[in-house]
Amino acid sequence: MTESNANKVLNWLQNAVGRVREFAYAEPTVPAPAPHRPRIGVALGGGFARGIAHLGVLSVLHEENVPVDFLTGTSAGAMLAISYASGHTIPEIERQARATRFKDFGSWKLSWLGLASNQKLEHYPRKFLGVSTFEDLKIPLAIAATDLGTGQAVYFSHGQLGPALRASCAYPGMFVPVEIEGRILVDGFLAAPVPVEAARSLGADLVIAVFLEAANNRTPSSIVDVIGLSFAILQRHADLEWRATADVIIEPMVKDFLWDDFEKTSELIAAGEAAARAALPKIRAAIAAKAGEMASQATPGKD
């Protein structure tokens, strides 16, 4: 090897040793702090078959990477919330929704307290979703029911899913009320039509509420229609406090669907998707605003 080549090799080795020393003795790099992100809760209202529209909303949130940290649900919203929180994929839940009929959760059984029983709902989470308790779920969940004695909302977030789901779906006049721990419970929509408060109590910093309006101007064809239309009128005139506390409200156009339109799954999902996509700018703006507020509060020296 010539002297020139030897010098080149020596210089290369010296440079390499220097780089190794710099690496070995350098101060460790501190990773940049993760940006502040609000914890997002999604509150799903009731609506019998119209509740399938919730699946379209959840699908868009998933596709657009809007995280769902907490879920709450009333009646049909509770059923969809359990399905999503159980970890099943959107296509799996959609297949189950398409196959669902009244016989899967109710049976006509005339009594002094209702026209039918929803006893079958007690087994729905385990039979169709493979989950039995709130603790089995992948996402924290609260289910709303109404105490018929006090008129107050009752929220379930621990223990068995079946009884809570059954109580939340006990539509007054149609299904027999459900007794849990000495309380007579009926459908959550009476006291918590969209359980925004429950999402806050779980820890949500920002709540997206999904409301499913029912039509009240069609001609009834059954006693179930009479009951449903009557409650739709009451709901329209009710003091809906949840609207004032939700950060974003999504309202799919589903009021022309009937309570048992389960065979119209595709149209209901499409309605949910359209409403969710239309609300995306508001959702992103709300998340950004809340994140900025949280970052400001976390910065030392800021009030």
In the residue annotation, 104 being an active-site residue is answered as: no
pLDDT in tens, 232-266: 666 665 656 888 999 999 999 998 888 778 889 99
Q: Single out the catalytic residue among 59, 69, 86, 187.
A: 187
pLDDT in tens, 144-193: 999 999 999 999 999 999 999 999 999 888 888 999 999 999 999 889 99
Greater model confidence, 226 or 152: 152
Alpha helices in the chain (DSSP H): 3-25, 53-63, 76-85, 90-99, 124, 161-168, 196-202, 223-237, 241-245, 265-298
278 with 252: CB under 8 angstroms?
Answer: no
**Distance from C-alpha of 186 to C-alpha of 15, rounded to nearest angstrom:** 78
Q: Single out the catalytic residue among 75, 83, 117, 168.
A: 75
Q: Residue 26's pLDDT is what?
A: 43
**Distance from C-alpha of 147 to C-alpha of 167, rounded to nearest angstrom:** 10
In the residue annotation, 266 being an active-site residue is answered as: no
